[in-house]
Structure 1
Amino acid sequence: MPTADGAHSRRLSSDDVYHQLRTLILENAIAPGERVNIDALARQLGVSQTPIREAVRRLEGDHLLHKVPGKGYQTTPLLDLDSLRQLFEFRLVVDLWAVRAVAVNRLGNPSGWLHEEIERFTRAIVGVPDIRQHLLEHDTRFHGLILGALGNDVVKNAYDQTHCHFHAFRLYSPDTNGALTIEEHARLAHAIEACDPDEAETAMREHLTKAFYRFARAFDDTGNIQLRFPQSPRIF
């Protein structure tokens, strides 16, 4: 079906639209606090408003968009330094407990999946100049595998609802080539494989602490954001 400018619409699903918009928000191509124009997005992507609206609802659930009465949808603000600290304090509670629990579970030990995920990520970033999306997806999957191995849906759902990875990665990319993440995740995977809860907890604590300070580099001494993603091409 031709669009308003005469172009033929592409067969994009709501999933495709969701992932495209999520990428633009995470990379700040759609700036924090900016209004999201559903009509303009539908025209630019060559789709109807239906998949756009479905994607927008999902992004609202991710807390990457919020609805402003009388103004439509806007992207949510970036984390400030205090919010970043609170996010990592939450993770230090949940992730440390989770990693100890899975490290002593010999029958449900997720180390094989963790090693596979590290290998998949390592292969995926070869020759890729900008690994931001790969890094976000890897970090989300890696920690999700640990939480999922608990077999506790309440904890996993509560953790997912914080959208820890989305919000931290909106600040900027703290590990430009992935080497630090690979090293820290590999240490975690080996500790879990060895069923060593003390080493697993230590590795997780050091990983999260280092990650916090990497992300905190986005702020100056007064707590104001000083770093941004390089601007990506806008689509509307």
Structure 2
Amino acid sequence: MASNPDHSQADPHASASVYELIRSRVLREEIPPNARINIDALARELEVSSTPVREALRQLQGDNLVVQEPGRGYRTTPILNAAELRELFEFRLLVEPWAAKIAAMDRLQNPGYVLEREIADITDLIGRQSDIRYELMDHDIRFHDAILRSTSNEVVRTAYAQTHCHLHAFRLHPGERTGEFTVAEHRVIHAAIRGHEPEAAEQAMRDHLTAAYLRFEVAHGVNSGAPYLPGTHEDRPAATTSLSL
């Protein structure tokens, strides 16, 4: 009897699907941090050959979610520690308020429509799902990338992309189950960019990033007060300073 065809090889989208499945498992810690990955076992679980699994792991290596050890295969990377998370948000505070300001200035490349669509899509999902943490992460990636893309500065965008900040932040803390705070803060950023208000857009992004960082600190008991980060103003604290997670 002929064996069943390997649909993972016949379907050109199979590798992308396997990548998404493994990515989800790593981010949700179904494959724990700093754990060795058994390619053959994972292929059996996903009912595919080892080829798309290897291709997916190469992609995940580019995301800095897995690392290849010579002669020992692949291992998931450790999650960020408190110092690394702070450094990541310090970098974001240097780049993203500037990007939001530029996005609001440029009428020809204003990303207002793209941001509006992103907010509409995630709002619709919130109405249909009780837990949107994983989907919220992907929304956050697209939302922030649309702003950076509108600056037309590929050096900045590439440097930002190489941090994979959303993926690593999600692994450290999956975030809000309902997306209440993130989406509300995105609406303020969108309104300022769409309305061509550069200073307001810059401040809204700064407030959003500071509030997001504070959510991590509160969740992990690192700091009971507002964090000090470059770019924040003592007389203009983050929009949300007392959060329940």
TM bracket, shorter-chain basis: 0.7 to 0.9
Query: Once the 2 structures are TM-superposed, how far is the Cα of residue 107 of structure 1 from its aligned partner?
Result: 1.5
Write the distance in 1 (CA, Å) between the matches of 2:70 and 2:117.
45
Moved more, 8-17 or 66-75: 8-17
Write the distance in 1 (CA, Å) between the matches of 2:209 and 2:29.
24
2:137 is equivalent to residue 153 of structure 1 = no
Q: Aligned residue for 1:92?
A: 93
Q: Aligned residue for 1:121?
A: 122
Q: Residue 37 of structure 1 aligns to which amino acid in structure 2?
A: N
Query: Once the 2 structures are TM-superposed, how far is the Cα of residue 189 of structure 1 from its aligned partner?
Result: 0.3
Q: Aligned residue for 1:144?
A: 145
Q: Aligned residue for 1:42?
A: 43
Query: Once the 2 structures are TM-superposed, how far is the Cα of residue 39 of structure 1 from its aligned partner?
Result: 0.5
Q: Aligned residue for 2:231?
A: none
Q: How many residues align?
A: 218
Q: Aligned residue for 1:80?
A: 81
Write the distance in 2 (CA, Å) between the matches of 1:67 and 1:91.
28
Query: Once the 2 structures are TM-superposed, how far is the Cα of residue 70 of structure 1 from its aligned partner?
Result: 3.4
Give the structure-1-normalised TM-score: 0.87
Write the distance in 2 (CA, Å) between the matches of 1:58 and 1:105.
34
Secondary structure of 2:128 counterpart: coil
Q: Residue 101 of structure 2 aligns to which amino acid in structure 1?
A: R
Write the distance in 1 (CA, Å) between the matches of 2:167 and 2:3.
34
Query: Once the 2 structures are TM-superposed, how far is the Cα of residue 127 of structure 1 from its aligned partner?
Result: 2.7
Query: Once the 2 structures are TM-superposed, how far is the Cα of residue 219 of structure 1 from its aligned partner?
Result: 2.6
1:165-211 deviation per Cα after TM superposition (whole angstroms, max 9, x unaligned): 00001112222211111110000000011111111111001100000
Q: Residue 50 of structure 1 aligns to which amino acid in structure 2?
A: T
Q: Aligned residue for 2:188?
A: 187
| Cα contact 1:65–1:75 (8 A) shared by 2 | yes
Write the distance in 2 (CA, Å) between the matches of 1:67 and 1:173.
25
Write the distance in 2 (CA, Å) between the matches of 1:26 and 1:198.
35
| Cα contact 2:28–2:171 (8 A) shared by 1 | yes
Write the distance in 2 (CA, Å) between the matches of 1:221 and 1:94.
24
Structure 2 gaps, min length 5: 224-245
Identical columns (%): 47
Moved more, 147-156 or 183-192: 147-156
Q: Aligned residue for 1:213?
A: 214
Query: Once the 2 structures are TM-superposed, how far is the Cα of residue 62 of structure 1 from its aligned partner?
Result: 0.3
Q: Residue 206 of structure 1 aligns to which amino acid in structure 2?
A: D
Query: Once the 2 structures are TM-superposed, how far is the Cα of residue 10 of structure 1 from its aligned partner?
Result: 5.1
Structure 1 gaps, min length 5: 223-236
Q: Aligned residue for 1:65?
A: 66
Write the distance in 1 (CA, Å) between the matches of 2:207 and 2:101.
14
1:25-72 deviation per Cα after TM superposition (whole angstroms, max 9, x unaligned): 111111001111101111111111111000000000100001223321
2:21 is equivalent to residue 23 of structure 1 = no
Write the distance in 1 (CA, Å) between the matches of 2:203 and 2:3.
57
Superposed CA RMSD in Å reads: 1.7
Write the distance in 1 (CA, Å) between the matches of 2:127 and 2:3.
38
Runs of 4+ in 1 over 3 A off after TM superposition: 8-12
Give the structure-2-normalised TM-score: 0.84
Q: Residue 189 of structure 2 aligns to which amino acid in structure 1?
A: L
Write the distance in 2 (CA, Å) between the matches of 1:211 and 1:113.
22
Write the distance in 2 (CA, Å) between the matches of 1:2 and 1:125.
43
Write the distance in 2 (CA, Å) between the matches of 1:204 and 1:101.
12
Write the distance in 2 (CA, Å) between the matches of 1:33 and 1:218.
22
| Cα contact 1:81–1:219 (8 A) shared by 2 | no
| Cα contact 1:171–1:218 (8 A) shared by 2 | no
